[in-house]
Structure 1
Amino acid sequence: MTLHRRAALLAAPSLILGAKALHAQDFPTRPIRMIVPYTPGGVSDITARLIAEPMSAALGQPVPVENRAGADGVIGTDVIAKSAPDGHTLGLVSVGHPVNAALYRLPFDTMRDFTFLTLTTRTPLVFCTARSFVANTPAELVAYARTRPAGHITYAATAGVVRLAPVIFAQRNGIEMTYVPYRGSTQAHPDLISGRVDVMFDTVSAALPHIQSGALKALATTGATRSALLPDVPTLGEAFMPGFEATTWGMVLAPAGLPVPVVTRLHREIVAALQRPEVVDRHRILGAEVSTLTPEQSRDFTQSEMEKWGAAARAAGIEPQNAG
């Protein structure tokens, strides 16, 4: 081997590292698309649009939001997973991301195929019943359920956490409740108000008009702290079940293998956008709380959520299905 060839081989790794560093330093070089794997109008979509403009101003490139809905978020999330890990494709997913690991046979790995950038928001559920229902607190509901035949108490639910939170509640309290499926909250509310189904864990924003009108009563909320929209309603953790928490949330992620300098830059700009007062206030109106984490904490949080909701799905006897 000649001296020149040996020197070239020894220099190659440093040249590659230098190219990667330069690429990260120059990032971004084109628009950054933000994929939301759900239909427009939900909290994830609203969050993405609220942070896109300040991110664009800080990064010097447009941040268009692209809705890629289908299969409970699986279709759009698969697009994120299979995109180039260069920081120019991001996604804003919900708690459905770890929940789907228990519900579907996925075309990607929920943890391994993504870089987790930051949590964005947390939104509690509200445990509610018809105004005429016999129980006024979670403890009264459990006591009442224990006097009835197993499964006598029914709960309305759509999918995801709204479907699985009652499973954890029932399991921890040694009762059985019967699941009554609905396609959406608006379809479930008339039956809940009339008493055809007994209880529901719903998003605060969806149930709030009926609670304010007196058609429904709130037994508890499910966040770590009380909801700003229902400040007089205790959390389930403080009222009856210490440590209980069930929230919907948002998370910005990217394909696996994102260079560390790009991760650092994106995390900084996303968090700065989320913490703008107008962004915080808009989320508060929706019943959501801006809540950020480091990339490492975001990954650990998603892992713990996957384990929690996976256990609930197994307890409910749910077998994974083909997505879509």
Structure 2
Amino acid sequence: MKISRRVALSAPFLLPSVARAQPAFPQRPVRMIVPYTPGGVSDITARLMSEPLAALWGQPVPVENRAGADGVIGTDAIAKAAPDGHTLGLVSVAHPVNAAFYRLPFDSIRDFTFITQTSSTPLVLCAPPSFAPNTPEELVEYARAHPGVTFAGTGGVVRLAPVLFAQRTNTRLEYVPYRGSSQAHPDLIAGRVNIMFDTVPAALGHIRSGALKAIATTGGRRSAQLPEVPTLGEALLPGFEASTWGMVIAPAGLPAPVLAKLHADCVAAMANAVVVDRHRTLGADIVTSEPDALRSFVQAELTKWGEAARAAGVELQNAR
């Protein structure tokens, strides 16, 4: 049977390739939700990425800060957005860590599409110059001889990294809570608290001035900002890693072609020279990843920090 051109054009089911055609992406501005206050690494990364992405897409990429409940409020907004690629999120290590502290209104894996990691920033194990240990090995020996070495913590991974360290070294450390690094540093410098696992950018000025000393860093490789300081992995604990990091996510159910484009374009944006240089000044390494590998990485982080939180006796709270 012969099919006329008019019939063929009016019957999409006869033309699978036409029926499967996807509209061009993006069709309108793509908002980037950052679930934290302005000025942090996640916010800076999102704003740096927005310019090269806007140039690639021919659409604005506005950054929207939706802070609250340690990032839970903004992350929930990402999870509940339409899965069409026009809402993205730039989240940090707080994403898996929050699952160890809060009853969440979303599932940290199932409710999201993982696009790419963006950066990684190690912590630095630091102490006042008056504190006797100078190496990770000496710290372990000292902690075993003096149970109850104190560590300053500000929540999240800064609180849990020392717990992980204590688990791996069979030592006992005592948590001293602070609201932020700026509140903890005076007591740390004065020796009223013994050690702190802080972010490199937060502690770097005090280390360079001599007010604090760096015992080790916690990344997979040495920090470019502190190249003379060994990692805990190379000095004492192979495989130990406790870093802050960022990633781009979207709601679950993103169409495969949109995910492929978002991944390729976000990776390209992170390779932009301005983006790379700015992250270097922040002490952060550019790290990108494939979506499936990123999903597995986040699952591993959920397990690691969940176990550390249980060891620390953390009880789940309602996010507010």
Aligned to 2:183: 187
> What CA deviation, in whole Å up to 9, does each residue of 1:167-201 have, x standing for no partner?
01011111111000000000000000000000000
Q: 1:228 aligns with which of 224, 229, 245?
A: 224
Distance 1:142 1:296, change over 3 A: same
Residue identity matched to 1:53: E
TM-aligned CA deviation for residue 21 of structure 1: 3.4
Percent of aligned pairs with the same amino acid: 69
Aligned to 1:176: 172
TM-aligned CA deviation for residue 242 of structure 1: 1.2
TM-aligned CA deviation for residue 60 of structure 1: 1.2
Equivalent residues of 2:13, 2:19 under 8 A apart: no
Aligned to 2:275: 279
Matches for 1:169-318 after TM superposition, within 5 Å = 169-318=165-314
TM-aligned CA deviation for residue 102 of structure 1: 1.1
Distance 1:17 1:36, change over 3 A: farther
Aligned to 1:21: 21
Distance 1:85 1:203, change over 3 A: same
Distance 1:224 1:83, change over 3 A: same
Aligned to 2:66: 68
Moved over 4 A (4+): 11-20
Q: Does 1:126 align with 2:99?
A: no
TM-aligned CA deviation for residue 155 of structure 1: 0.2
TM-score (norm 2): 0.94
Aligned equivalents of 1:13, 1:166: Cα separation in 2: 60
Distance 1:64 1:20, change over 3 A: farther
Q: Does 1:38 align with 2:36?
A: yes
- Flag structure 1 segments of 5+ consecutive residues without an equivalent: 1-10
Equivalent residues of 2:12, 2:18 under 8 A apart: no
Distance 1:16 1:111, change over 3 A: farther
Q: 2:134 aligns with which of 114, 133, 136?
A: 136
Aligned equivalents of 2:185, 2:133: Cα separation in 1: 18
TM-aligned CA deviation for residue 145 of structure 1: 1.2
Aligned to 1:100: 98
Aligned equivalents of 2:88, 2:149: Cα separation in 1: 42
> What CA deviation, in whole Å up to 9, does each residue of 1:57-80 have, x standing for no partner?
101110000000000000000000
Aligned equivalents of 2:278, 2:287: Cα separation in 1: 14
Aligned equivalents of 1:15, 1:123: Cα separation in 2: 50
Q: What SS does the corresponding residue of 1:21 show, helix, strand or coil?
A: coil
Q: What SS does the corresponding residue of 2:314 show, helix, strand or coil?
A: coil
Aligned equivalents of 2:163, 2:15: Cα separation in 1: 55
> What CA deviation, in whole Å up to 9, does each residue of 1:270-319 have, x standing for no partner?
00010112211110110000000011111111111111111101111111
Report the aligned-residue RMSD. Answer: 1.7
TM-aligned CA deviation for residue 125 of structure 1: 0.2
Q: What SS does the corresponding residue of 1:163 show, helix, strand or coil?
A: helix
TM-score (norm 1): 0.93
> What CA deviation, in whole Å up to 9, does each residue of 1:92-129 have, x standing for no partner?
00000011111100011100000000000000000000
Residue identity matched to 2:301: E
- Flag structure 2 segments of 5+ consecutive residues without an equivalent: 1-10
Aligned equivalents of 2:100, 2:26: Cα separation in 1: 35
Aligned equivalents of 1:17, 1:193: Cα separation in 2: 67
Aligned equivalents of 1:286, 1:213: Cα separation in 2: 18
Q: What SS does the corresponding residue of 1:253 show, helix, strand or coil?
A: strand
